[in-house]
Amino acid sequence: MKFQDLPSILPLYAADSVILLPRAQLPLLFDGGEEKALIDYAIREKHRLIGVVQPNPEGGHFQKGCVGKIISFQEGIRFFITLGGLCRFKIEDVIDDGLIKKARVSYQGYEGDMKDSHPDPFVDRPRLLDLLKEYLENQDISANWDEIDHASDDLIISSLTMACPFDPIEKQALLETSTLSQRCDIMIALMEMSASFSKDRGPMIH
């Protein structure tokens, strides 16, 4: 799909601390009802696109999100889909249409999201990976380090942004950054704060 072909109206999916980034993939497990209606709408419109936004802890939802295309779909007792991130957007108007929520959106300023990612010389990959090891240990999260070592900066940072259990406001800040190095810097700051907090609290008993 080309940038100019993105629809101006999107069905919206909102879930706590769930974000999608361009060129990343987001697996989702749906139970039915509104979520099934969301899939049906995206398929019926033939674009197979869903706009992913976060609920705002202060009420409503954030005004910026990312549109993803359904790239895999498995139907059973529940519905398992994978969204491939295409482009970020800004909500201009919300349309409440029965079972699903839709929005009129603008993609202005995010034209680069649908282009191939280029290396950012200001990404501090060594520092990020060093902190990541400590952060994942503190969070009791396992990782495939061989896969991480061979992944691109863009893939690593996007995957971490989406997977790490940051607060919604922190995740939103990561979503809205302009450059990969800025996103990396925020990731480093968040993981440094998490490491410092864990040390201040002392050993944790589970």
Q: Quick check: 19 and 52 in contact, CB under 8 A?
A: yes
95 and 140 fall within a common domain = no
The radius of gyration computed from the CA coordinates of the chain, to the nearest angstrom, equals 18
**Band (141; pLDDT cuts 50, 70, 90):** confident
In a domain, 188, yes or no: yes
pTM of the model: 0.88
101 and 135 fall within a common domain = no
Per-chain mean pLDDT for the chain? 89
Q: Quick check: 20 and 68 in contact, CB under 8 A?
A: yes
CB half-sphere exposure, 35, CA atoms < 13 A? 14
Instruction: Using the 3D structure, point to which of 80, 114, 148 is the last residue of a domain.
Output: 114
CB half-sphere exposure, 30, CA atoms < 13 A? 20
Q: Cα–Cα distance between 160 and 101 in angstroms, integer? A: 28
Give the residue numbers spanning the domain of 192. 125-201
Strands 79-97 and 25-30: what pairing?
antiparallel
Higher pLDDT: 173 or 78? It is 173
pLDDT-wise least confident of 64-73, 133-142, 159-168, 169-178: 133-142
Q: Per the structure block, which two tokens stand in for 144?
A: 């495939």
Q: Quick check: 153 and 93 in contact, CB under 8 A?
A: no
pLDDT-wise least confident of 30-39, 89-98, 196-205: 196-205
Q: What angle do CA 135, 139, 141 make, to 5 degrees?
A: 95
Instruction: Using the 3D structure, point to which of 85, 114, 143 is the last residue of a domain.
Output: 114
53 and 78 fall within a common domain = yes
Whichever domain contains 9, its CATH number is: 2.30.130.40
pLDDT the model gives residue 206: 31
